[in-house]
């Protein structure tokens, strides 16, 4: 489904973020990418989201080279992916309903679909009662659940969670990981990057370990080993 083929990223100051990275991700897989800060995890995700172009190598999604797509095709491609960030990145001047509706509007969904799906997806993350609140009125855990609701509302093929528990306490961390697991159980591919050993060890899923821009381990039922 997704494959990285000898992907490298060298910045103009000659710092190497990725070096000949090759691996594949199967449909419905739950994969965790771990590594120290600066190991290249976020750069890898940026390559997949077409936020940055690789200096060498190719990134394929369903046999299509992502970086050969034009702007319009990239927009369509991104609608197949839901992204969750460590810092939530909710739109502060929109309420929770509008934050989620926005992603649906961008995907060209009708008003009727939006009115039906937004309350439903908020119920799934247990935030049905906060539908008209603004992000600043929510706790960190609640914000992250809104971000997950926004990521899944368009029923994407893939969820990318870039250190989603980095700003959360253990209880909220556990809740977020459970939600991601549930999403994966329903058939969505999940790519998770994290520093949290407890999270990785509790998942018992595939773990790719990175160091200095290279993959140093790829374990099917991995644990956090650095």
Partner 1 sequence: MTWIKIKRVITSGFFNFWRNGFISLSSILVMMVTLFVIGATIFSGAILSSTLQEIRDKVDINVYLVRSANENDILELKKNIEQLPEVLLPVVYVSRDLALANFKKRHENDQFTLQALDELGENPLGATLNIKAKDPSQYETIAEFLQNQSTLSPNGESIIDKVNYYQNKAAIDRLSHIINSANRLSFILTVFMIIISILITFNTLRLVIYMSREEISVMRLVGASTMYIRGPFFVAGAIYGFISAILTLIIFYPITIWLGGATQSFFVGFNIFSYYTSHFGEIFLIIVGSGVIIGSISSYLAVCKYLKI
Residues that bind partner 1 (CB under 8 A): 49, 51, 71-72, 75-79, 83, 89-94, 98, 102-103, 105-108, 110-111, 150
Nearer to partner 1, 35 or 82 (CB): 82
Contact 216, 210 (CB under 8 A): yes
Contact 194, 34 (CB under 8 A): yes
Nearer to partner 1, 16 or 49 (CB): 49
208 DSSP β-pair partners: 33, 218
Nearer to partner 1, 54 or 222 (CB): 54
Nearer to partner 1, 106 or 226 (CB): 106
State in angstroms the smallest separation of the CB of 221 from partner 1.
31
State in angstroms the smallest separation of the CB of 226 from partner 1.
28
- Which single residue is written with the structure tokens 């934050």? 99
State in angstroms the smallest separation of the CB of 176 from partner 1.
18
> What is the Cα gyration radius of the chain?
17
DSSP E strands, the chain: 2-10, 16-25, 30-34, 56-61, 64-65, 81-85, 158-162, 189-194, 206-211, 214-219
State in angstroms the smallest separation of the CB of 51 from partner 1.
5
């Amino acid at each position: 489904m997704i494959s990285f083929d000898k992907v490298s990223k060298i910045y103009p100051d000659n710092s190497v973020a990725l070096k000949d990275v090759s691996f594949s991700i199967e449909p419905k897989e739950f994969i965790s990418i771990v590594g120290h800060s600066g190991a290249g995890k976020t750069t890898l995700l940026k390559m997949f989201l077409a936020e940055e172009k690789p200096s060498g190598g190719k990134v394929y999604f369903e046999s299509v080279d992502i970086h050969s797509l034009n702007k319009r095709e990239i927009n369509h491609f991104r609608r197949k992916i839901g992204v969750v960030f460590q810092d939530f990145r909710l739109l502060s001047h929109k309420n929770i309903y509008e934050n989620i509706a926005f992603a649906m509007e961008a995907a060209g969904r009708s008003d009727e679909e939006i009115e039906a799906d937004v309350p439903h997806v908020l119920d799934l993350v247990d935030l049905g009662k906060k539908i008209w609140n603004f992000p600043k009125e929510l706790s960190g855990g609640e914000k992250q659940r809104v971000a997950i609701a926004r990521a899944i509302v368009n029923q994407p093929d893939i969820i990318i969670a870039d250190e989603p528990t980095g700003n959360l306490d253990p209880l909220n961390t556990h809740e977020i990981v459970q939600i991601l697991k549930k999403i994966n159980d329903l058939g969505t591919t999940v790519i998770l990057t994290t520093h949290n050993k407890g999270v990785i060890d509790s998942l018992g899923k595939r773990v790719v370990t990175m160091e200095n821009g290279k993959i140093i381990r790829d374990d099917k039922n991995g644990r956090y080993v650095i």
